[in-house]
Amino acid sequence: MTIIKNKSVRCSVQLTLLCGLLFLASTEVLAQPQAQPAEDLPQLTNQTKSKYTTAVSQNQIPADLRPLYNQLLSRDAAVRVKAVQGLSLIGGPTSALLLAHAIDDSLELDAAVRIEAAIGLGEIGGRQALRVLGIALDDKDPTVRMRAVQSLRWAGTVFSIPYIQEALRSDRLVGIRLEAVRMLRKIGSQFAIQPLEEALVTDREAGVRIAAADALGEVGKKEKDAARALGSAYAQERDTGVRLEIVGSLGLIRDRAGLPFLVTAMNDRDLTVRLKATQVYGRILGLQ
């Protein structure tokens, strides 16, 4: 009887420990940052505009916000800017939705007001602000688009990545695509690797590809999977300057994960790349 009882106690203890480990594992998974699921951003923009139109047409604007909303319709741009600043200071999803009027270039014709709205939405933050900021990615004024890309970083961090990636994919101006790369570099999480790798492989401008390689090297200081992204891009890259930047970025990562790609680069057709790859390879091994 004593033996059976001891076995029962041991089983009970083991079961308790197992449950505890499972609980810890589940909470660790929940604590991991989750990437925003892929969304049809143009459709989401249309839904956001429709949501704003419905709120106005069905008189869903809260009474205390109505005076500021009315000022968004003022003939004086300076007054509209002050209304935008007021709504930004109040914050919250409703204020963000009302700023759809101020950031949509089909409703607000003054670029200065739209820029102020982009700044304000970045300060408000949250999912609604992100969706309203998405409207500005197609703005006819490049300064508004630039400001929107910058504000996206503050509005939602990891959740802003699909929006920033859209600007990186589709904006016709190199300067805005470079700014999108810079914002992804500043976010710096594992979720920034895929859009940076895509830009490194597909962007038509060597300057953008160089910036993407540099950003991956910076992200790779914490996220070692960036080495794979850099190595994959190296195999397809024809521009010597970009290949040289990729090799340098593999050196920033300082991890053995980049060594196989550096061995390949040590046989590059360009002497400068071969020299750099040899130097970086030795440096990484020396730091191990």
Please give the CATH number for the structural domain made up of 39-187: 1.25.10.10
pLDDT of residue 130: 95
Whether 39-187 shares its CATH topology with 188-288 is answered yes
Q: Is the pLDDT of residue 33 over 50?
A: no
pLDDT of residue 9: 40
Task: Calculate mean pLDDT across residues 215-220.
Answer: 96
* Residues recorded for the chain: 288
Contact 118, 153 (CB under 8 A): no
Q: What is the pLDDT of residues 100-153, one digit of tens each?
A: 999 999 999 999 999 999 999 999 999 999 999 999 999 999 999 999 999 998
Domain boundaries, the chain: 39-187, 188-288
Task: Calculate mean pLDDT across residues 192-201.
Answer: 97
Task: Look up residue 214 and give its two tokens.
Answer: 């540099």
Helix orientation angle between 226-234 and 240-253, rounded to the nearest 10 degrees: 160
Cα(136)–Cα(143) distance, integer angstroms: 10
Which is more confidently placed, 42 or 196? 196
* Whether the predicted model's global pTM rises above the 0.85 cut: no
Which of the four pLDDT bands, split at 50, 70 and 90, describes residue 39? low
pLDDT of residue 40: 84
Q: Is the pLDDT of residue 284 over 70?
A: yes
Please give the CATH number for the structural domain made up of 188-288: 1.25.10.10
Lowest average pLDDT, out of 68-72, 204-208, 255-259, goes to 255-259
Task: Look up residue 148 and give its two tokens.
Answer: 């929107």
Cα(54)–Cα(46) distance, integer angstroms: 12
